[in-house]
A and B are shown apart, each in its own frame.
Chain A
Amino acid sequence: MERKFFPLIIEPLTLFSKEIKSELRTRYALNAVLMFAIVTLTVIGISVGQYALNSKILASLFWVVLFFSSMSGLANVFIKEEEKKTSDLLKLVAKPSTVFLGKFFFNLLFFFFLELIIIPLFILLLGLEIQNFLFFFSVLILSSLGLVSATTIIGAIVSKAQVKSALFPVLSFPILLPLLITAIDGTYLSIQKIGLSYNADNLKFLFSYFMVMLVLSFLLFEFIWKE
């Protein structure tokens, strides 16, 4: 029997829910990422001690921690398929668009969860004071969308390589550099209580980056996945 209704939605959602179930059972990426984030934040917190960091350094550190924590987890959605030899199975049963969307939404959820852990810890350990919550979360959400769009496709590329874990941050960094610079600047401005006019350009750039990366990744994914 074949289901006729909404396969474009149901199929990626099926993969998305399988990814959640799979991650909760294996903790393939979750434990490593959480440990990395907590250890890094603690080390920075201890190193800084009682010194008050200025807003620019705080914003930079915030994105450094987010970037490197995510690097140890976001590629795993594809790497684990290769390592467990299930990628051929997925290629047989699912369309490339289904695989990309399912993995993209799982990575997005994973990254938001990571932020949910890191932000309170950062506030607690390093005294991050957000002055403008609306801008802060706008920058955060748009940057997350852009970062996850780019890293999902890069994860698919590195999963075919021999030195997967080393290659992922190396490949990701130059592609994510414009996003990271803008995200740091946007975060700095939101800590500084600076008005919308200063931050609007950052938000426009982050939105454009996300759209370009999402469309490019979606279009290129079939070629990468089948190779």
Chain B
Amino acid sequence: MISLQVNNLTKYFDQRKVFKDLSFIVEDNSCLVVIGKNGSGKTTLLKILAGLYSPNEGEIKYNLGGKTIKKDQTKKFLSLVAPDLNLYDELTALENLKFLSKIQSLSFGEDDLLKKIHDAGLKSRENDLVGSFSSGMKQKLKIVFALLNQPKFLLLDEPSSNLDEDGIAYLERRISEQKKRGILILATNNKKETEYGEKILSLDN
């Protein structure tokens, strides 16, 4: 049993309120879509959930198997794809994945990683520097990275941005898999992407 519980989450940047007393629960095998205008706090919310920002008030509980995961252990179970989360431009696609898996103590053989890169539609580009990739190709590689640890909680911020048709089909397959594996939180302004969610959270109010 997996769930994510957010209670009275409040975030200010200096004096500016981003959101106040935000509470919600996401249950196993479901997707919460977060919508809102630009600047409404979608990215901030996802970064707080990922542990990259601290909230001013409130608590977040990641529950797995009836127990709340300790704060310093949550990294093992979650992943994030966000527009300003960059991979290393000076490394190749394969080197990026090797580094990112090894530093998480995930042991993948080179063939496993190559298969993941090829599945994302980046065949024959595995040894090219990420700096030479288009923004859509980088986005595909970020999705591959995010799924390396088979996360129970996946956070996607504008995941289809810059993706071509094949990329969107790849993303849809990964979204279906994630909903079977655990929980998906998706922040978007794209109407089609709101269809992935069982619940919608609007940050406009």
Nearest opposing residue in chain B for A17, CB measure = B99
A25 partner residues in chain B, CB cutoff 8 A? 90-91
Chain B binding surface SS class = loop
Residues of B93-123 at the interface with A, using a CB-CB cut-off of 8 Å, are 95, 99-100, 102-108
Residues of A70-119 at the interface with B, using a CB-CB cut-off of 8 Å, are 84-86, 88-89, 91-94, 98
Q: State in angstroms the CA–CA spacing of A39 and B82 once bound together.
A: 43
Determine if B86 is an interface residue (Cβ-Cβ < 8 Å): yes
Determine if A22 is an interface residue (Cβ-Cβ < 8 Å): yes
Q: State in angstroms the CA–CA spacing of A92 and B90 once bound together.
A: 19
Residues of B27-67 at the interface with A, using a CB-CB cut-off of 8 Å, are 47, 50-52, 54
B95 partner residues in chain A, CB cutoff 8 A? 21
A92 partner residues in chain B, CB cutoff 8 A? 50-52, 75, 79-80, 85
Nearest opposing residue in chain A for B86, CB measure = A85
Q: State in angstroms the CA–CA spacing of A7 and B75 once bound together.
A: 15
A88 partner residues in chain B, CB cutoff 8 A? 47, 52, 80, 82, 84-85
A-B pair number, CB within 8 angstroms: 70
B90 adjacent to A2 (CB under 8 Å)? no
B24 partner residues in chain A, CB cutoff 8 A? none
Q: State in angstroms the CA–CA spacing of A86 and B90 once bound together.
A: 12
Q: State in angstroms the CA–CA spacing of A94 and B84 once bound together.
A: 18
Nearest opposing residue in chain A for B146, CB measure = A92
Q: State in angstroms the CA–CA spacing of A91 and B54 once bound together.
A: 13
Q: State in angstroms the CA–CA spacing of A15 and B102 once bound together.
A: 9
Nearest opposing residue in chain B for A13, CB measure = B102
Determine if A10 is an interface residue (Cβ-Cβ < 8 Å): yes
Q: State in angstroms the CA–CA spacing of A98 and B89 once bound together.
A: 21
Determine if B87 is an interface residue (Cβ-Cβ < 8 Å): yes
B168 to chain A, nearest CB (A): 23
Counting chain A residues whose Cβ lies within 8 A of the other chain, the interface size class is: 20 to 34
A21 partner residues in chain B, CB cutoff 8 A? 90-91, 95
Query: Contacts A22-B88, A22-B90, A26-B90 given: A14-B106 contact, CB under 8 Å?
Result: no
A11 partner residues in chain B, CB cutoff 8 A? 102-103, 105
Contact check: which of A1, A4, A14 meets B103 at CB < 8 Å?
Answer: A14
Query: Contacts A21-B95, A85-B84, A92-B79 given: A10-B104 contact, CB under 8 Å?
Result: no
Determine if A18 is an interface residue (Cβ-Cβ < 8 Å): yes
Query: Contacts A21-B91, A21-B95 given: A15-B103 contact, CB under 8 Å?
Result: yes
Query: Contacts A3-B106, A91-B52 given: A18-B86 contact, CB under 8 Å?
Result: no
Q: State in angstroms the CA–CA spacing of A214 and B55 once bound together.
A: 30
Per-position 1/0 for B151-190, Cβ under 8 A of A = 0000000000000000000000000000000000000000
B102 to chain A, nearest CB (A): 4
Q: State in angstroms the CA–CA spacing of A1 and B82 once bound together.
A: 25
B88 adjacent to A86 (CB under 8 Å)? yes
Nearest opposing residue in chain B for A11, CB measure = B103
B91 adjacent to A1 (CB under 8 Å)? no
Per-position 1/0 for A10-48, Cβ under 8 A of B = 110011001001100110000000000000000000000
A204 to chain B, nearest CB (A): 37
A1 adjacent to B85 (CB under 8 Å)? no
Contact check: which of B47, B84, B100 meets A93 at CB < 8 Å?
Answer: B100
Could you jot down 15 A-B contacts, CB within 8 Å? A2-B106, A2-B107, A3-B107, A7-B105, A10-B102, A11-B103, A11-B105, A18-B91, A22-B88, A86-B86, A86-B88, A88-B47, A88-B84, A89-B88, A92-B85
Chain A interfacial positions (CB closer than 8 Å to B):
1-4, 7, 10-11, 14-15, 18, 21-22, 25-26, 84-86, 88-89, 91-94, 98, 226
Chain B interfacial positions (CB closer than 8 Å to A):
47, 50-52, 54, 75, 79-80, 82, 84-91, 95, 99-100, 102-108
Q: 6 more A-B contacts (CB under 8 A) besides A18-B88, A89-B86? A: A18-B91, A21-B91, A85-B84, A91-B51, A93-B100, A94-B104
